[in-house]
Every structure is written in structure tokens, then in C-alpha cells.
Amino acid sequence: MDSPVHPPGADPALRLDPSGYSIGAGTHSWTQTPFEVAHIEVTDDGVVAQARFTDADGRLIEIDVDDRDGRPRRRGGFLAPVSAAVTEPRAMLVVWMPIFDLVHEVPGRSPVIRIDGEDARIGALPGRRLHRRHLIKYAGPICSARLNADDDVAAGSPGDGVVEPGPDGGVRAVTAAAAGHGVAVRFTPPLPDLGREGAVADGTWVLEMDDARVTGGVWSVRPAGDDREVSLQATRRWRPRRLPLLMRVVTTVVPVFRRWPTTYAWRAVVTADGVVTDAGWSRTGTEDGKGYRRATGS
């Protein structure tokens, strides 16, 4: 997404923090919108989803999906490439979907997605006649994490995380848990105590979400005058495990699914007394999702 996005709106019952969402070049506005219909249910044999509301531009949005067919589904864990198109990241937003699938084709029950009475165009994965799936994704539940968010770093806080100290001070890991999900960033060896004189070190880090190793990379601590420069580079692609055949093919043919984490890097300057004077994420590559849009016509 190369231009600001205008979200359709959020029901007043939802409590969303806009700072936690980075989409393309940014969002145009956040608007509360009452939903006339809002229902989703993930069952063993499919999904039921209905929504009806008027968006921020006054357009009627209608969604009606039901692909249940009595046959148990084989689903897999999936790393959503929601951060692939972010141009100015304020965090590394990682969204893990431990139970993920695409809507199946069911005779006589085509999905309905309408905007102002017009059917919306839905992209398609290659080989649709063989796999018989719509390019409509669903998941439940969802686990998300924001690594080194700008506001947390500025406040000198690990956010919702708990720091596990290393044997000589420093940081062995940062962990967080909520609503039955667990997230951990682990450092090998532990990050050194940045207040220790002459702290210079290198190592690796991994991000685990619900016990799945999602990504990781390398870290370093270097002198920067009287201060220290700390950097994290994501170098590990997502390596999916136990995906259904269709999704294994898709994530192989369309590189953005596996490669996008490796386009993120973080750098900070920390004084000897632990004050962060400069910090932020940057994009180091071009995995922006264009290949996915070309492959799916979306």
C-alpha cells in the first residue's frame, strides 16, 4: 500500500489503540461505526462470518461467508505479512495465526462481499480448479506482538514484557503472556549490561510465538563515543512447519510470506547510564507484497 488508507471503521464496543497498527504509508482516520451485524464462528468444518455496517465514507459494507460442509479441516499456523508494506515502522508488528485457513468453495453458497451494493473483486490463488479455495483468509485466535515499539523505548519500558536477566546482568530474554498466548524474544548469549564499561558483544536472537519460532536474527553492541550503539537485524526467514500442501506451495511461490521479516532492522544509541537518546526501526529491503498482488490479481 503506497498511500494512506482510510479504515472502514470500528464498532464502539471495540477498544483499539491506533498506535498499534501500521498500514502502508499510514491511516487516514479512525472512526467509530456501529455494526448492524457482526458475527464470526470458526468450526471444525469451516467458518461462518457475517458483517453489515456503513463505513467512514458512507458506503454500505456487507459480508456473508459460510463454507461449512461437514468435513473436518486441516489447518496450519501462518505468519501474516501485515508488516510487509509498512513504509515508516514505529515497531516490528508480528501477527501469528496458529489456526489459519482459506474459505472453501461450497456449491450454492458463494461468499458475499459487497460495497455499496456492488460485488467486491476477490483475488484468486493459482490453480483454483484444483484446490477450490477462495482468496478469503480467516484465523482464530490471533497472537500479535510489537517489538521495540517507539513509545515503549522512549519511556524506557519493555511494554507488556517481563525481562529475564542474564547471569552478569543484561538481558537473557523478554517474555509476555496474555489470553492464553505466549511471546518471547531470546538472546544468545544474553545482551550485556550496557552500563558496564567497554561492553562490546555480538549474538543472535529469536522470536517465539505460542512455541513457534517465527523469525530471528543477529544483534550487536558497539562503542559510540562515550555511548553504546545497539542494533538488531532480522535475518531469519519464516520457515513454516506442518502447513497444508496448498499453503506450502503458496508460501514458496510468493516469497513475501517467508522473507518479509528480513527487511527489518533496529538501531539505538544508549548512554552509559542507560538513557536511550536515539532509536528506531528501518526497512532494509523491498518485500512489499507486490509479488503477492501480481500472483493473485488482488
The residue that leads in pLDDT, 160 or 209, is 209
Instruction: Please compute the mean of the pLDDT values over residues 97-125 and round it to a whole number.
Output: 92
- Residues 151 and 108 grouped into a single domain: no
Tell me, what's the pLDDT at 2?
35
Reported as a single tens digit per residue, the pLDDT across 36-49 is 999 999 999 999 99
Q: Yes or no: say if 161 and 91 are a contact pair by the CB < 8 Å rule.
A: no
CA atoms in the 13 A half-sphere facing the CB of 24: 12
- Residues 238 and 182 grouped into a single domain: yes
- Residues 99 and 203 grouped into a single domain: no
Phi–psi pair at 112, nearest 5 degrees: -115, 120
Q: What angle do CA 173, 239, 92 make, to 5 degrees?
A: 50
Domain that holds residue 35: 18-139
- Residues 157 and 236 grouped into a single domain: yes
- Residues 280 and 178 grouped into a single domain: yes
Q: Is 2 inside a domain boundary? A: no
pLDDT higher than threshold 90 for residue 5? no
Read out DSSP for 27-91?
Answer: BS---B--EEEEEEEEETTEEEEEEEEE-TTS-EEEEEEE---SS----EEEEE-TTTT-SS-SS
- Residues 255 and 121 grouped into a single domain: no
- Residues 135 and 153 grouped into a single domain: no
Tell me, what's the pLDDT at 22?
59
Give this prediction's pTM.
0.83
pLDDT higher than threshold 80 for residue 128? no
Q: Is 5 inside a domain boundary? A: no
Tell me, what's the pLDDT at 172?
95
Q: Which residue, chain included where needed, has cell 515502522?
A: 89
Domain endpoint, select from 115, 139, 163:
139
Q: Is 10 inside a domain boundary? A: no
Q: Is 1 inside a domain boundary? A: no
Count of structural domains within the chain: 2
- Residues 127 and 161 grouped into a single domain: no
Domain endpoint, select from 114, 139, 164:
139
Q: Is 249 inside a domain boundary? A: yes
Reported as a single tens digit per residue, the pLDDT across 225-254 is 888 999 999 999 999 888 888 888 888 878
- Residues 121 and 210 grouped into a single domain: no
Q: What is the average pLDDT score of the chain?
A: 85
- Residues 158 and 254 grouped into a single domain: yes
Tell me, what's the pLDDT at 60?
96
